[in-house]
Chain A
Amino acid sequence: MKTQLPIILVCLSLLGGCATTNQRVLDSGDETQLQKRSYQSRIFETSDKEKVLRAAISTLQDLGFVIDRADLMLGSISGTKLDGHQIKITVSVRAKGTDRMLVRANAQFNITPIEDPKQYQDFFASLEKSLFLAAHAGE
């Protein structure tokens, strides 16, 4: 018991650093709004919203997600992946000017937001393949 007590104490002290309710509701961490938007968004050179949405649906299905809902007018898709853990993702597609589409994704793993830009990079790389279009970083 004596050797394990310090370890338990360390773990509990980590819990002590938990966020307040407001921080959790607003997901306000160290990142700025702009940083978050930049790694969660990409621009595609097409004016076909439906094509991008259908490609996003296919990509999510390829990745093992079940589509929860989709809306063409709003340009949004939500999906859930269950594999011992739960991942939820929302992808939105909106026109940027007349000939480009802005795709934005945000995801959560169990009960924490996914904030690793690498995961989003992977997602957009998969989407690129399914769209046969290169993605560009937003401004």
Chain B
Amino acid sequence: MKKLPILFGALILAGCVTVPPNTFVVTPELLQQRQLETRRYDGIKEESLITASANVLQDLGFNLENSETKLGVLTASKQRDATDGREVAAAIIVALLGGGAMAISKDQTIRVALVVRPVNDSNGKAMADSHFVRVTFQRLVRRTDNSVIAQTLREPELYQYFYERVSKSVFLEAHKI
């Protein structure tokens, strides 16, 4: 039984990991995610909307990494602590039970991409002052054994909170405060 991990490791090395099927197909779950990540803003120019959004990212402590305002793209990231009380407690219990040191989350890089695009009218023409904002959050968590967990954040509350901030920022931008 103890050889099992070795065997498993050897199998992974031999290249058993493949691209998941339907990686490049837009599934209903992904469309749901799009709903969650997108908001529409009316009565504001693209330039003002992207400026307001960049300000929110700064409010949230992100550092801007890249931008191409001609395409409405902003990317930002930040490094933060990732220790989780429950995880630490579990690790202590495992250690007390003689299970050895369990790897726990140490720190994380949080990445965000924000894209502003014009809403198309019924003729397929871009409208000047109606836009969609779409934001996606990802994080890379580094654990104490230096392994990395990569994930996309999907909690609706996170996106709600973010867009509340954007709405406020749009208001401030519109009133030049």
Indicate whether A25 reaches chain B with its CB closer than 8 angstroms. no
* Interfacial residues of chain B within 48-73, with CB under 8 A of chain A in the complex: 65-66, 68, 70-73
Q: Are A129 and B70 closer than 8 Å at their CB atoms?
A: no
Q: Are A66 and B138 closer than 8 Å at their CB atoms?
A: yes
CB neighbours (8 Å) of B14 from chain A are 10-11, 14-15
State how many angstroms separate the Cβ of A131 from the closest Cβ of chain B.
11
C-alpha gap A76/B111 in the complex (Å): 20
Q: Which of B7, B11, B24, B117 contacts A63 (CB 8 A)?
A: B24
Q: Are B23 and A122 closer than 8 Å at their CB atoms?
A: yes
C-alpha gap A21/B139 in the complex (Å): 31
CB neighbours (8 Å) of B138 from chain A are 66, 80, 82
C-alpha gap A57/B115 in the complex (Å): 8
* Interfacial residues of chain A within 54-92, with CB under 8 A of chain B in the complex: 54, 57-59, 61-72, 77, 79-87
A-B contact pairs, 26 of them (CB 8 A): A1-B3, A4-B6, A7-B10, A15-B13, A15-B14, A53-B71, A57-B71, A57-B117, A58-B117, A61-B113, A62-B31, A63-B24, A64-B136, A66-B137, A66-B138, A66-B152, A68-B66, A69-B66, A70-B68, A84-B149, A84-B150, A84-B151, A109-B18, A119-B19, A123-B24, A126-B24
C-alpha gap A10/B75 in the complex (Å): 45
A-side residues, CB < 8 A to B, are: 1, 4, 7-8, 10-12, 14-15, 50, 53-54, 57-59, 61-72, 77, 79-87, 109-110, 112, 114, 116, 119-120, 122-123, 125-126, 129, 132
Q: Are B6 and A63 closer than 8 Å at their CB atoms?
A: no
CB neighbours (8 Å) of A83 from chain B are 150-152
CB neighbours (8 Å) of A82 from chain B are 138-140, 150-152
State how many angstroms separate the Cβ of B123 from the closest Cβ of chain A.
12
CB neighbours (8 Å) of A122 from chain B are 22-25
C-alpha gap A81/B137 in the complex (Å): 11
Q: Are A63 and B70 closer than 8 Å at their CB atoms?
A: no
Using CB atoms, name the residue of chain B closest to A123.
B24
Q: Which of B10, B18, B30 contacts A62 (CB 8 A)?
A: B30
C-alpha gap A119/B71 in the complex (Å): 26
State how many angstroms separate the Cβ of B177 from the closest Cβ of chain A.
29
Q: Are A110 and B112 closer than 8 Å at their CB atoms?
A: no
Query: What does the 1/0 interface line of B23-43 toward A look like (CB < 8 Å)?
Result: 111100011011001000000
Q: Which of B3, B25, B117, B151 contacts A54 (CB 8 A)?
A: B117
Indicate whether B85 reaches chain A with its CB closer than 8 angstroms. no
Q: Are B115 and A67 closer than 8 Å at their CB atoms?
A: yes
Known A-B contacts A11-B14, A53-B71; the reply to A61 vs B6 at CB < 8 A is no
Known A-B contacts A7-B10, A123-B24; the reply to A64 vs B33 at CB < 8 A is yes
Q: In the complex, which of the residues B14, B33, B71 has the most CB atoms of chain A within 10 Å of its own CB atom?
A: B71
